[in-house]
Structure 1
Amino acid sequence: MTRRTAPKRPPIHMIDTEADTLADLAVGVQDRLRQVSELLLEEISRATIHRADRIPGNVVTMNAEVEFVDEASGATRIVQLVYPRQADIAANRISILTPVGAGLIGLRDGQSILWPDREGNERRLTIVKVRQASCDEAMAN
């Protein structure tokens, strides 16, 4: 009998204060958004944690603009990763509490992750480019 193992996820990095806030957020929605809550908590637990001034600039953090390819559809998207209250899909601001948002956090330019969508289908998301929000943009959010 051959046993199939899940592909190893790439290393990820997070800012210490964001990781704490995201953990609280994930625990708070566990009853309503079980899948995303579990996925996000798992990502936080495996991340290398940094102070904000030590996080590499090419890492997806909160409020960063991310260009990525959804390899299942071939579509390239540019989105800003935001907290739920700032989410606005028409403005390309996606919530961290979506499967895609939880999958993007902590990745770097060029990395890919095999990640479930809302229906449980695995999709490969590949980061093309990360642009950090300016201080003014981050404060507005």
Structure 2
Amino acid sequence: MHEAVVVVHGERTLTELDFSRLTRLAGQRQPPVLADLLANAEVTSSRAVRSDVVTMYSRVELVDVHTHRRQVLTICYPQDAEPAAGFISVLSPVGVSLLGLKVGDVAKWLTPHGEECAAVVESIQFQPEATGDYLT
């Protein structure tokens, strides 16, 4: 079985809280792509993050660039992941490819089978920080 690989493209923005929690979480066994994201992300305060940036627990509408299929996913920590309900772990190829992107950006990742996937961040239906929740 191949380990899924994600390439972090372009600039990403993380909140200080997300950065801190992901650094701690990843300290256990940091996937290379997450280490790359943490090393290269622009870090900002939760109160200053733009509402069009994908943060932890954001509910995001994606449109597959090849099939045009739409799906809604929520980026969460591994313990809250429930893929059948649309809760995708930040440590999954899809999750880490979305975190820190802005509306209009394209997330790219490889499936465990080596298949290339790409989807446009069509909209952010919910972002905790945009509702004044700076602690989730």
SS of the residue corresponding to residue 54 of structure 1 reads: coil
Once the two structures are aligned, what percentage of the paired residues are identical? 27
The alignment's TM-score, normalised by the length of structure 2, stands at 0.81
Do 1:68 and 1:127's aligned partners in 2 also have CA atoms closer than 8 Å? Answer: yes
In structure 2, distance between residues paired with 1:83 and 1:96: 6
**Whose Rg is larger?**
1
Q: Which runs of 5+ in 1 are unaligned?
A: 1-6, 31-36
Aligned residue number for residue 54 of structure 2 = 60
Do 2:64 and 2:118's aligned partners in 1 also have CA atoms closer than 8 Å? Answer: yes
SS of the residue corresponding to residue 114 of structure 1 reads: strand
Alignment of 1:96 onto 2:84: no
1:129 corresponds to which of 118, 123, 134 = 123
Q: Which amino acid aligns with 1:16?
A: E
Aligned residue number for residue 3 of structure 1 = none
Query: CA 1:65–1:72 in structure 2 vs 1: closer, same or farther (change >3 Å)?
Result: same
SS of the residue corresponding to residue 45 of structure 1 reads: helix
Do 2:56 and 2:75's aligned partners in 1 also have CA atoms closer than 8 Å? Answer: yes
Aligned residue number for residue 3 of structure 2 = none
SS of the residue corresponding to residue 14 of structure 1 reads: strand
Q: Which amino acid aligns with 1:109?
A: V
Q: Which amino acid aligns with 2:57?
A: N
Q: CA deviation at 1:73?
A: 4.0
Aligned residue number for residue 11 of structure 1 = 11
Q: Which of the pair is proportionally richer in helix?
A: 1
SS of the residue corresponding to residue 95 of structure 2 reads: helix
The alignment's TM-score, normalised by the length of structure 1, stands at 0.78
Alignment of 1:105 onto 2:99: yes
Q: Which amino acid aligns with 2:127?
A: Q
Deviations 1:87-119 (A, max 9, x none): 111221111111000100000100113322222
Give the total of aligned pairs: 127
In structure 2, distance between residues paired with 1:135 and 1:89: 26
Q: Which runs of 5+ in 2 are unaligned?
A: 1-6
Aligned residue number for residue 4 of structure 2 = none
SS of the residue corresponding to residue 119 of structure 2 reads: strand
CA-based RMSD? 2.2
